[in-house]
A and B are shown apart, each in its own frame.
Chain A
Amino acid sequence: MSKIISLEDAAAKVEAGDRVMVGGFLACGSPEEILAKVLENDVDNLTIIANDTSFPDKGIGQLVASGNVKKVIASHIGTNPETGKKMHDGSMEVELVPQGTLAERIRIGGAGLGGFLTPTGVGTIVEEGKKVIESEGQEYLLELPLKADVALVKAWKADKKGNLVYRKSARNFNPLIAKACETVIVEAEEIVEVGELDPDHVVTPSIFVDYIVRGEN
């Protein structure tokens, strides 16, 4: 069965009410073409899980502005005034998570673990509502795994089986979300034949990937 599908079919897999993880760091390494199509589809009640909410004129940022997002889980929202506005007027919920904690929660979501203990956030408002556990004389917060329905991943190269290679700092959250979601859709700049990628260079093994879309950028 071929994993390669059209941009339209890929975007249609994001349905109303879905929890969606999106790769990228301030839009570097975000699947902008799929995001643009999801925006066109006007599906509402989305939960977006990503490092940040990008810029007002880019992928995640436009989705937030469209009003189709009911909740955002991110480490930083400062580059998109729309997110702050919607958070303050109560039209959108925002859960701010320290970046390392967000990355690790997603990583363990895909790794079958039930939680982890981190010193990050101890004694701050991040501690609120969390279990504080003392181990070997130090206090830690118990942080829980994060999973989602759909991952929108941006890769540099994908082979037709779905093995992925990333480019430079565009890697960021992409390999992590690819392991933590029910349906994993990849926007790849280049799709190559099976065998063309050196197995030593593959970052995300094909078994994590369900669908591949050829992106132009």
Chain B
Amino acid sequence: MDIKEKKQIIVKRIAQSLEDGDVVNLGIGMPTLVANYVPEDIDITLQSENGFLGLGPKPEEGKEDKDLTNAGGQPVTIKEGGVFFDSAESFAIIRGGHVDKTVLGALQVDAQGNLANWMIPNKIVPGMGGAMDLVVGAKDVIIATLQTTKKGNSKILSECTLPLTAKKQVDYIVTEMGFYKLEASKLILTEINPDYTVEEVKNATDAELIISENLKKMSI
């Protein structure tokens, strides 16, 4: 399975966890792809932290608007019924618990629900942008990540070693291998991709892993 296929599995599974009426913020990179797989029979509202609700797909070529971009600076559109606001209002929405789900990437995520996704000291220091507020404010924090780094190290650890984005805020982790739930500082595998065995998942997870009694096949 190549990386593209793995990412597709992750974002498809996350798209299925969205519910009708949800307000959702998708982080930059892989999380953005979730929007491509939202089931047609549900209606969700995407929040863009640079200041609007009702984020739509990218415009046709030639129809880009210099005044309408997403939080990654890419040209986008706004759906009917969408609305613009300033950055303080945008983060009142985020911090105030008015975003139902946020999907973010991870450098590291741990069994206590800690997330590190904004810097590698002395190497990459891009800044946290809106990630720290999103992780603290959104009702559900869903982490979209490959199970391991390019070198094969687990991205799921017993304790993050990189500077944290937030403490104990992660609710779910979705990788190409499975769907994990975090409950009372316990990491529980609730769904497994049938292409892998439980043993393989355990070996690729650098933390104590509880296998759910009702372990299901990951629905993709």
Contact = CB atoms under 8 A, between A and B. Distances in A.
Interface of A: 25-29, 51-52, 74-79, 84, 87-88, 96, 98-104, 106-107, 118-126, 156, 166-176, 203, 217
A168 B78 contact: yes
Interface string B65-78: 11111011100001
Interface in B18-48: 48
A172 B132 contact: no
A6 to B, nearest CB: 24
B216 interface: no
Given A76-B127, A101-B133, A124-B163, A168 B87 contact: no
A28 B50 contact: yes
B126 A76 contact: yes
Given A167-B67, A168-B65, A172-B51, A99 B128 contact: yes
Q: How extensive is the interface on chain B, given as a class?
A: 35 or more
Contact of A78 (B65, B126, B133, B168): B126
B88 to A, nearest CB: 4
B58 interface: no
Interface string B158-186: 00000111111000000000000000000
Contacts of A119: 95, 136-137
B128 A100 contact: no
Contacts of B95: 100, 118-120
Contacts of A77: 125-127
A126 B48 CA distance: 23
A100 B73 contact: no
**Which secondary structure dominates where chain A touches chain B?**
mixed
A212 B124 CA distance: 39
B86 A172 contact: yes
Given A170-B67, A174-B86, 10 more contacts: A25-B87, A28-B66, A78-B126, A102-B87, A120-B136, A122-B167, A123-B164, A125-B164, A169-B50, A169-B68
A75 B94 CA distance: 16
A52 B86 contact: no
Interface in B163-220: 163-168
B36 to A, nearest CB: 21
A76 B129 contact: yes
A118 to B, nearest CB: 7
A167 to B, nearest CB: 5
Given A76-B127, A169-B68, A25 B50 contact: yes
24 contacts: A25-B71, A25-B73, A28-B68, A51-B87, A52-B127, A75-B130, A87-B125, A88-B122, A99-B87, A100-B87, A100-B91, A100-B94, A103-B88, A107-B88, A122-B167, A123-B167, A156-B67, A168-B52, A168-B65, A168-B67, A168-B78, A171-B51, A175-B86, A217-B66
Nearest to B125: A84
A160 to B, nearest CB: 23
A167 B90 CA distance: 16
A124 B164 contact: yes
Nearest to B75: A28
Contacts of A172: 50-51, 86-87
A99 B65 contact: no
Interface string B101-139: 000000000000000000000101111111111001100
